[in-house]
Amino acid sequence: MKPQDIVAGKASSLWIFGYGSLVWKPDFEYRRSQVGHIQGYKRRFWHGDNFHRGDAELPGRVVTLIEDDDASTWGVAFEVTGAEVEESLKYLTVRETVRGGYVTKTVEFFPDGEEQPSVPALVYIATEDNALYLGPASPEAIGVQIAVCRGKTGHNLEYLLRLAEFMRSSCPHVEDHHLFSIEAAALNMVSYLLAAQ
């Protein structure tokens, strides 16, 4: 479902699932948030960013979701209600679609913890046909790229470290090998660069 369809339908409530910077910086009003996961997708640093965390000459790397029937991705879902629905979708259209090149899909979100029912949630995904899509690379190559990039929102390294910290503090039972191997590679590069000065 597209954001404009949701607004046109005058939805009174909507869940939005975040798995990257939205987990620590939603920047929109919401009624409540919950940690949990979606199934059938894996989080990967395969999307380029030439605005928030990089520029045209040196794009940063940010996460997208890749379909994988056996995978799940942990993050935060935000429930927006009333006027928040339209306002949050306007904001996210600029942040994620116009500047980030993401498209929207509807997924089933499973809250962590107590036996709570799943809810449909809107998610933003960058696909392979996006001009900013960079695709796979080794953790070392991605880590080096992240260590040296900066955009209008800040250093690409901050994005990586905040996401890793979220996973450690909010989802300590989840092992995200892709994320943590890139974090280690990026921190090794930063140590190398600092030692070389």
pLDDT tens digit sequence for 72-123: 999 999 999 999 999 999 999 988 887 777 899 999 999 998 788 999 999 9
Question: What's the average model confidence in pLDDT over 14-43?
Answer: 97
CA count, 13 A, side-chain hemisphere, 196: 6
Beta strands in 112-145 (DSSP E): 119-125
Residue 186 has pLDDT above 80, yes or no: yes
**pLDDT digit string (tens) for 136-160?**
999 999 999 999 999 999 999 999 9
Q: How far is it, in rounded angstroms, from Cα 194 to Cα 197?
A: 5
Q: What is the DSSP letter of 22?
A: G
* pLDDT score for 11: 64
Active site residues: 96
Q: What is the pTM of this model?
A: 0.91
Q: What value does the mean pLDDT take over residues 157-166?
A: 98
Average pLDDT on 13-35 reads 96
Q: According to the model, what pLDDT value does residue 39 have? A: 98
Which position has the higher pLDDT, 120 or 11?
A: 120
Residues of the chain with pLDDT > 70: what percent?
94
Distance CA(31)–CA(96), nearest Å, equals: 21
Q: How confident is the model at residue 21 (pLDDT cuts 50, 70, 90)?
A: very high
Give me the mean pLDDT over the 159-186 stretch.
98
Query: Domains of the chain: which residue ranges?
Result: 3-196
31-47 pLDDT, tens digit per residue, is: 999 999 999 999 999 99
Domain 3-196 has CATH 3.10.490.10: yes
Contacts (Cβ under 8 Å, ≥6 apart) of 101: 47, 126, 130, 131, 132, 133
Instruction: Write the CB contacts of 70 (distance below 8 Å, at least 6 apart in sequence).
Output: none
In this prediction, residue 2 has a pLDDT band, given cuts at 50, 70 and 90, of: low
Does the structure show a pLDDT above 50 at 8? no
